[in-house]
Each structure stands twice: as C-alpha cells, then as structure tokens.
Amino acid sequence: MRNSSSSGANKRLPTRVIAVGSVGNDKIHLVQTDSTIKGDWVALSHQWGTGTQFCTRKTNLRDHLAGISMARLPATFRDSVIVTRALGCPYLWIDSLCIIQGADGDFNQEAKRMEQVYSGAYCVLAASRSPGHNAGFLGPRQEALGITFRREGDSAPFYLRENIDDFQSHVLDGPLNGRGWVLQEHALARRTIYFTNRQTYFECGDGVHCESMSKISSQRAAFLGDPNFPRLMMKADKGAKILGYQDLYKLYSGLALTHSTDRPWAINGLQERIVTALNVQGQFGMFYEDQPGGRRRGLLRRSLLWRRADGVQSLDRISFPSGPGALKVPSWSWMAYSGRIDYIQAEFGGTEWEALQAQWDSHSGKVDSGILVATARDYTDQDAGSMLVFDSPLKSKKEAVQCVVLGKQKGEVADSEKVHYVLLVELKPLRDQTKDERYERVGAGTLLGKCIGGNRMKVHIH
C-alpha cells in the first residue's frame, strides 16, 4: 500500500496500547503509555458480538498490565496480534482492551480521542468476516474456482479464475460496516486491511487493491477511504459540501450501536474533522458559520432541518447518563434520538434565513450550550402545500405544538404563498420555576406562509 504519511516514531501513542512482542511470544502486555513511549500501532476494527466480552476493567487492569496469555485471547484478538507482528508494528490498539470498560471506566474520556487513535494508526485491521470476538478472521475461506487449460502443442498452461472482486458486498454492505463506530474508523484510517470470507482487500489513498491483484474503484470507498478525510469533500462547492456532510450523517444515523448512548461519540472524530476543514464551529451534528456583522447564514439552519426518514415510524429519545460532566444532547440534535434521518432541502441561493441565537453566536449575547433562542408562532397545517414530520408522531400533543421559522423562500411571490422551513416545538413541564420556559423540538417540515399565525413569542429550545 502506498505510504500515506510518515512513521509513528514521533507520534504520541494512545493512552493504552498492547505490546505484541515478537513471533513465538506466548504473552502480550497492556501498556499504560506516557510521552517517552513512541512507535507505530495498528488498530482493530471489529464487532463485539454477543455473550461475555473479553475486556479490561478496573478489577483486572493490573493483571492485563502484567501480561495476557495468547491462549486466553478470543480468536479475533489473537488473529490481530498475529497480523500486527507480521507487519512489524510493536503495538496494537483494541477498544475493549485499551479502554477501561464499565461505569467506573474511562470511556467518556477515551471516546474523545478516537480521531487520534484511528488517524494515527499505521493501519487498521477490519475483521469484516468475524461476527464477534470468538470467531477470528484468519481461518479457512471460501476458495475461488479455477480451471487450468493446456492448448495442444503449447506447453504453457492457461489459467481461468472466478471473479471474486466485490468490495461493495464483501465490505461496504457487510455486517461490520453496519455498525455505527465502524464508519468513523473507516474514514479516519490512513490504510485499512479488510479480511473477508473470499479475499483480503487493501485500501489507502491510492484506492482499493484486491488480493486477486486487481484494483477496483468505488465512489463511496474513495470518499471514506481518503486518508486525509474530508479532502475530497473540500474540493466541491459550498452546496455540495453541505450535501456531503448530510449524506454522511444520513448514513451514520441508520447504523447499529450496541449502546444507543454512543450515538454522539461514534461520529465525534469525523465531526471534528469536518468542523476543522470547513473552518466553522459545531457540535451535536450541527455546524455554525459566523458572519461578520451578524449577517444570517444558512449553515446552522440547514443542519437543523433534519427529519425522521421515510419508513421510520418513530425516533426514540435516548436516555443519556446525567450528573456532573455528562454530555447533554439537546432535543434539536438528531444525536438525541435513535433512528434513521433525512434532511429537508431548502433551495441553495433561494432561501431567506430568519434570526436564531445559538451557543456559537458572537453577535447576540451569551447563549448557554445546548440552547437555541428563537421566535415561536402558532400554525395550522390544513393546506396541501404543507409537509410536517413529527419525530415521534404518537407522543406529540399536536394541539400544543408551535413552529419556529428558520427560513423562507425568496422571490416576488406573496409571503402567504411562500414555502417556510420550520422546526416544531412543544412546551415541556418545568422542574425549576425560576428558569425560562423550556421548549423541545418535536419535528420539522415546511408550511406556506398563510398557515403561520401572527402571534410571536421568544422561546428557549433545549
């Protein structure tokens, strides 16, 4: 595979890594790193599977630092040690071993470092064929059919072999890639080796190479396999950039997570990359572009115009841990819900945006994190030109719902006939009567201007 960047001689290692030792060693060691320890590491991308998991916990951390017998390792972990040794890398990173699991572990701290772990790795091993820890990925595979011909009078044989190159079904549509964390692992990696039941695929900045000696092209693979993600997105115009991140979030929102509370974390590394590349601010799957003089820009409003995807009956609110230091995901973020999303598309260059205050706004005063300050209005949707999508249709008291206009159609048409892009919000009971009334998002959609009432009220959307 083509070299995508320099070696790890001067790179800071993850908080913990596994020292794999050399071929023949019957023990590996979990290592607590510091600034003096340098070197390359390989990262494993895998499915956890069902049943009891082989993990590092506070109760066995000391034992794992002292050494783990190869015989004790689940087959998938053991195979990853074998490959790491063969690649000549001294260290291996496996999430369940290198992050302390459990309520008293350090997942919340380590989850924020996934971008550095996967982008800094010498390569990522994707156990695409392995459904869990105990299955392994180096076992016998389904052999490709082959035929040997000999032409009369010619001593040189002629070989025909079954075409087994199918990166789409073997990898992109495979069970491993159906997991939420894996999207980020794929996009952040400089190089990835995919172990499938038919053959091995090698992906880097030069494309996807097959064990069969061929090279294949895939638009999605090129986008996610870019070692400098999101470089390809940045070559597009502004509208295409917006559609690009929306497609990424739509894809991610439909992937599976063992723990629904991982939803903000399993995409956090990609979000940080996009924020940096676009030179904007952002969190919770939202992006904000500050405009000199306080002029309104559409980036945040377009981010807010997500909706429940077609075919999804309800978006279920995730119950996140509470307490000091816990991440509070607001109702206006799709990361607060389980379920697949889509976006309502407002015409590029054809939309006039309305006032809205957010935590990133430097022109309208301080707004607390996770709160939007907006203007709510009454509405009626009794018009064929309206399209409203409730996040959880059976849970919303539609008679108590109001709309917040994010933007409206430009043009010479009367406001009453213009399409308005709206959030739907609902008043929630207050536990502390000294605070502002608390509204939460319950949906989004479009309304014609004639369906929106004239009464206006300032609201805080949590």
- For every residue of 320-366, DSSP letters joined together read ---STT-----TTSGGGEES-EEEPPPPTTSEEEPP-B-TT-SSS--
Give the C-alpha distances (Å, rounded to integers) separating 5 from 125, 161, 205: 18, 35, 10
CB burial readout 187-211, b (16+ within 10 A) else e:
bbbbbbbbbbebbbbbbbbebbbbb
pLDDT average, residue stretch 405-415: 93
Q: Give dist(CA 384, CA 130) in Å, integer.
A: 50
Per-residue pLDDT band at 292 (split at 50, 70, 90): low
Decide if pLDDT at 4 tops 60: no
Given this model, what pLDDT does residue 2 score?
A: 47
> What's the Rg (C-alpha) of the chain?
26
When the pLDDT of each residue in the chain is averaged and rounded to a whole number, the result is 89
Each residue of 45-61: pLDDT tens digit? 999 888 888 999 999 99
Give me the residue spans of the domains in the chain. Answer: 8-148+159-229, 232-461
User: Taking residues 236-252, what's their average pLDDT?
Assistant: 91
CA dist 333 and 343 (Å) reads 12
Helix ranges, 10-49 (H): none
With beta carbons less than 8 A apart as the criterion, state whether 461 and 433 touch.
no
Q: What residue ranges in 64-162 does DSSP mark as E strands?
A: 68-69, 91-93, 123-126, 146-150, 157-161
The encoded tokens of residue 378 equal 């009454």
Evaluate if pTM is beyond 0.85.
yes
Rounded percentage of the chain residues whose pLDDT exceeds 70? 94
The arithmetic mean of pLDDT across residues 111-127, rounded, is 94
SS3 content of the chain, % helix, strand, coil (to 5): 25, 25, 45
